[in-house]
Amino acid sequence: MVHTFLRHSVFYENPRYIMFITMVLNEAVQLSLVTALYVLSYVFRKIHASVCCLLIMSAVLTTRSTPLILAGMSVERYVAICFPLHYGQMCTVRRTLLLIAAILTLTAAPPVTDLLVGVLREPPGFLRTAIFCDHSLLFRHRAIYVKNVVFDCVYLSFVVLTLVFTYCKIMMTARAAASAGLASVTRARNTVMLHGLQLLLCMLAFVVPSLQAALISLFPRLSVEIRYVFFLLVYIIPRFLSPVIYGFRDKLFRKYWTRYLACKSQANARVAAVS
């Protein structure tokens, strides 16, 4: 997907595809970090707290970035459908890059403050100890938990309101344009609905720890299996499928992307035949 994006100016000069590839990269990094955390936790059990801190903070940043990226993508569709004549002035590459920078800055604030509170509250040398790499074990102070709950509630509420607002506005435009049969309006409405579904899957990541702890307390002998099932259903499958679904839904991106996939498959087949 990144190769397809970089090879054609029609993508990297379009705010819509810039937001899309940002989501792809964010999900790829998040998947890599979460998988690394999972493997390290079960292979080594305990790792250096400083290494754990770096992985946890990066994973938290990418996890919290996804809903805001979805909100930005929904706003872009809202402007494209409801203000088509002003789209070129309102949605520019420069503004899109500034929005991405603002998203990264905002989502970096909670893990950075977690680190600052942890350094001030924990005994000296804590980051040099070996621990089981988990957010609750790394950042143990109650103030960190309360701060994160408040932050998550506020910014997830903002994202939900943004998705509901853009969906309702696009729906009103769709009804007004029903007689004209504009397929682009229908696709935009379905895209925002898909954003809402993905947001629900993202929100599971904030609910799962409590549910997982409750199930493990009820079935302690199945703790490994419970963690693994939640790991697949919440962190791996949704974040792997979402970029793929978006890529195939977009006709222009699918045209170029499948072409590169087909060329790669043919090249592999020729190499296998020669060997």
Residues 6+ apart with CB under 8 A from 246: 20, 23, 194
238-242 long-range contacts (CB < 8 A, ≥24 apart) are 238/198, 238/201, 238/202, 238/204, 239/27, 239/30, 239/31, 239/66, 240/27, 240/31, 242/23, 242/27, 242/198, 242/201
Q: Report the number of secondary-structure helices (H) and strands (E) in the chain.
A: 12, 2
Write the CATH number of the domain with boundaries 9-139+159-274. Answer: 1.20.1070.10
The residues with which 131 forms a beta bridge, in sequence order, are: 47
| Closest to 89 in 3D by CA, of 98, 77, 80 | 80
Annotated domain spans of the chain? 9-139+159-274
Q: What pTM was estimated for this model as a whole? A: 0.82
Listed as own residue / partner, the contacts of 196-199 with beta carbons closer than 8 Å and 24 or more positions apart are: 196/163, 196/167, 198/66, 198/70, 198/238, 198/242, 199/67, 199/70, 199/159, 199/160, 199/163
Q: Measure the CA dihedral 35/41/47/50, to 10°.
A: 50
β strands within the chain, DSSP E: 47-48, 130-131
Report pLDDT for 178.
Answer: 57
Q: What is the pLDDT along the chain (275 residues), one digit of tens a residue?
A: 888 898 888 888 899 899 999 999 998 998 888 888 888 877 887 888 888 888 888 888 888 888 888 888 888 888 888 888 888 888 899 999 999 999 999 999 888 988 888 888 878 777 788 888 877 778 888 888 888 888 888 888 888 888 888 888 877 877 766 555 556 666 766 777 777 777 777 777 666 766 777 787 888 888 778 878 888 887 788 788 778 888 888 888 888 888 887 776 555 555 444 45
pLDDT at 162: 87
